[in-house]
Amino acid sequence: MRGRDVVMPNLNYIRGRHFEYRVIKDQLSKGALYVFRSAGSHGCIDVLAFYSDRVVLIQCKNQAASRKEWGELKAFRNTMSSSFYHVMMCENVGHMLRYTLIEAS
């Protein structure tokens, strides 16, 4: 690639992507039928897991989520009226996955 700059992905992106793949693997091990990663969406939801009786929408955080991020996810959850959809935050805590269900208010 003479004369062109090679752009490497930034480290935060790589870590975040790796964490999302860990969440995908974990959801499949819990019986999800299909799991998708919402790559590059910059939205509320990073991973979608489809089970026979529900759809789980997951925001993945490799670090602790900020109050703003929690607020945005709760606001997103409140736009959904069906209990068929489960909205969760997944945080990386000491190399463990911690899921928190976001309840509608």
Q: What is the mean pLDDT of residues 51-58?
A: 95
The total number of structural domains in the chain stands at 1
Residue 6 included in any domain: no
Q: 26-35, 40-49, 87-96: lowest mean pLDDT where?
A: 40-49
In whole angstroms, give the CA distance from residue 24 to residue 22. Answer: 5
Residue 17 included in any domain: yes
CATH of the domain at 20: 3.40.1350.10
Residue 19 included in any domain: yes
Residue 3 included in any domain: no
Residue 62 included in any domain: yes
Domain holding 53, by residue range, is 11-102
Position 2 scores a pLDDT of 62
Take residue 11 and report the two structure tokens written for it.
């480290």
Model pLDDT for residues 59-105, shown as the tens digit of each residue: 999 888 899 999 999 999 999 888 889 999 999 988 899 999 998 77
Q: What is the mean pLDDT of residues 27-49?
A: 91
Residue 86 included in any domain: yes
Return the H-helix or E-strand segment holding 52: none
Q: Degrees (nearest 5) of the Cα angle 30, 31, 33?
A: 135
DSSP annotation of 54: -
For 5, other C-beta atoms within 10 Å of its C-beta total 6
